[in-house]
Chains A and B, each alone.
Chain A
Amino acid sequence: MYDFGYTKPSSLADAVAALAGDDEAKALAGGQTLIPVLKQRLNKPTKVVDLSKLGLSGITVTGDSVTIGAMTNHATVAASADVKRAIPALAALAGGIGDIQVRNRGTIGGSLANNDPSACYPSAVLALGATITTNKRSISADDYFQGMFTTALDAGEVITSVSFPVPAKAAYIKFKNPASRYAMVGVFVANGPKGVRVAVTGAGQGGVFRHTAAEAALSKSWSPASLDGVSIPADGMNSDIHASAPYRAHLVGVVTKRAVTAAG
């Protein structure tokens, strides 16, 4: 690993100031992606700005929303009785990320800022129509995801929290790569205040996307059977040693049906 400067600011303003004006500075959340990347020398930051002392952890549940602080780790979301009650699919998703040790460190804000095309959280954010709050604005899920590892965040912009509207029904099913446990295809279905929304992770070359044909079919009738005959083109799907593009396109159909069944 190349060496770097390190700072652990104690206020959001200080963190933003430390990141400002330095394109080579990196924000550090849980580090479960950033540290492996640094170890492989794929990135050479001038300094790492640790966000752990900004008071950005915690979960607030009201009647119609779940708001999760950006530095809340996956294990905390998975174990939260409040999240389990309000959006059980979200708690289950968090409990299926990586392994226990990754869940004890990895954070929702870090996952969203990174926007790995196979990460789990982006599918929940997009399907539930969540709002991402940063140090300077609120960003809707539809505007936030802009392609693989690309988001609406400006340089030096820090996510502070994510707010999810509570849906009537939701479920997330992940078809895992058996070795890495990343999603080969993961589908989050939701029927809630933002309508019927289906978000797919792991499959698309451009990262998480909405499966609009499935949304249209499920809007008419919320049942697995209404997805019969709904397909998605293989164009634009990822293709790698684990699965070809046509196989991923097929899996999107299978996993979407399973998610609707699980949502009830």
Chain B
Amino acid sequence: MPQVTLTVNGKTSTVEVEGRTLLVELLREKLGLTGTHVGCDTSQCGACVVHVDGNSVKSCTMLAVQADGSSVTTIEGLAKADGTLHPMQEMFREHHALQCGFCTPGMVMAAVDLVAKNPQGLSEEQIRHGLEGNLCRCTGYHNIVKAIDAAQPLMHAK
């Protein structure tokens, strides 16, 4: 069986996988990082978004073997070791940007990448377009957009 060595949230692991093992399956089932969700299994909903080498990707649409040698950040890796939330997580809480919470890990990871890559700032419309790969079925987009907008100055001030 292929072996994959990757660094997840700063910790390097070597894991045996099958060719067909998805990155999200490696994260959830081999490493126990169940914060990354599987919503649709058809690459549409974005609940499984993680960062691979600094870019947001759908971890249900990437083979674990493709991540060999990569650095992966999941929702569990965003907060500081002392529990201080990432500004994006803090703003999601502040603005009540979740109802059931299922889409939230993917939303937060997508939002962090979106804001980080756009230091010039994003309009509300640009934030909404930037979330095209993430579905929320509680009709919660409005507060999610507010939270991301509020997180922009906090992330860029760092």
Query: What chain B residues lie within 8 Å of A40 (beta carbons)?
Result: 42
Query: What chain B residues lie within 8 Å of A105 (beta carbons)?
Result: 57-58, 61-62
| Docked-complex contact A3 and B56, CB < 8 angstroms | no
* Known contacts A35-B43, A36-B61: A101-B20 contact under CB 8 Å: no
Task: Identify 29 residue pairs between A and B in the complex whose beta-carbon atoms are under 8 Å apart, listed by A's number.
Answer: A1-B20, A1-B22, A3-B19, A3-B20, A6-B2, A6-B19, A6-B63, A8-B68, A28-B63, A31-B66, A35-B61, A35-B63, A38-B20, A39-B41, A39-B42, A39-B60, A50-B65, A52-B66, A75-B55, A98-B132, A99-B132, A99-B133, A99-B134, A102-B58, A104-B55, A104-B57, A105-B58, A105-B61, A105-B62
Question: Chain B nearest CB: distance from A174 CB in Å?
Answer: 13
Q: Does B113 contact A (CB under 8 A)?
A: yes
Q: Does A2 contact B (CB under 8 A)?
A: yes
Taking Cβ atoms with an 8 Å cutoff, the residues of A that contact B are: 1-6, 8, 28, 31-32, 35-36, 38-40, 47-48, 50, 52, 75, 98-102, 104-105, 181
| Docked-complex contact B57 and A4, CB < 8 angstroms | no
Query: What chain B residues lie within 8 Å of A4 (beta carbons)?
Result: 19-20
How far, in angstroms, from A52 to B110 measured CA to CA in the complex?
23
Q: Does B18 contact A (CB under 8 A)?
A: yes
Q: Which residue of A lies closest to B41 (CB)?
A: A39
Question: Chain B nearest CB: distance from A49 CB in Å?
Answer: 11
Count B-side interface residues using an 8 Å CB cutoff. Answer: 28
Q: Contact partner of B132 among A52, A100, A104, CB < 8 A?
A: A100
- Give residues 30-56 of B contacting A (CB, 8 Å): 41-43, 46, 49, 55-56
| Docked-complex contact A6 and B57, CB < 8 angstroms | no
What 10 additional pairs, Cβ within 8 angstroms, besides A38-B20, A102-B133? Answer: A1-B22, A8-B65, A31-B63, A32-B61, A75-B55, A100-B113, A100-B130, A102-B61, A105-B57, A105-B58
Taking Cβ atoms with an 8 Å cutoff, the residues of B that contact A are: 2, 18-20, 22, 41-43, 46, 49, 55-58, 60-63, 65-66, 68, 110, 113-114, 130, 132-134
- Which A-B residue pairs are the 7 nearest by beta carbons? A99-B133, A6-B19, A99-B132, A104-B55, A1-B20, A101-B133, A101-B58
Query: What chain B residues lie within 8 Å of A99 (beta carbons)?
Result: 46, 132-134
How far, in angstroms, from A115 to B39 measured CA to CA in the complex?
28
| Docked-complex contact B66 and A101, CB < 8 angstroms | no
Query: What chain A residues lie within 8 Å of B134 (beta carbons)?
Result: 99
| Docked-complex contact B19 and A101, CB < 8 angstroms | no
| Docked-complex contact B42 and A36, CB < 8 angstroms | yes
Query: What chain B residues lie within 8 Å of A38 (beta carbons)?
Result: 20
Question: Chain B nearest CB: distance from A82 CB in Å?
Answer: 18
Question: Chain B nearest CB: distance from A41 CB in Å?
Answer: 11
Q: Which residue of A lies closest to B134 (CB)?
A: A99
* Known contacts A35-B62, A36-B42, A39-B41: A100-B20 contact under CB 8 Å: no
How far, in angstroms, from A8 to B43 measured CA to CA in the complex?
23
Query: What chain B residues lie within 8 Å of A28 (beta carbons)?
Result: 63, 66
| Docked-complex contact B43 and A36, CB < 8 angstroms | yes
Query: What chain B residues lie within 8 Å of A47 (beta carbons)?
Result: 19
Question: Chain A nearest CB: distance from B123 CB in Å?
Answer: 16
How far, in angstroms, from A28 to B46 measured CA to CA in the complex?
21
How far, in angstroms, from A234 to B2 measured CA to CA in the complex?
51
How far, in angstroms, from A32 to B42 measured CA to CA in the complex?
10
Query: What chain A residues lie within 8 Å of B110 (beta carbons)?
Result: 100-101
* Known contacts A8-B65, A35-B63: A181-B132 contact under CB 8 Å: yes
Question: Chain B nearest CB: distance from A126 CB in Å?
Answer: 26
Query: What chain A residues lie within 8 Å of B46 (beta carbons)?
Result: 99, 101
Question: Chain B nearest CB: distance from A188 CB in Å?
Answer: 21
Question: Chain B nearest CB: distance from A76 CB in Å?
Answer: 10
How far, in angstroms, from A40 to B18 measured CA to CA in the complex?
17
| Docked-complex contact A101 and B63, CB < 8 angstroms | no
| Docked-complex contact A100 and B133, CB < 8 angstroms | yes
Query: What chain B residues lie within 8 Å of A50 (beta carbons)?
Result: 65-66
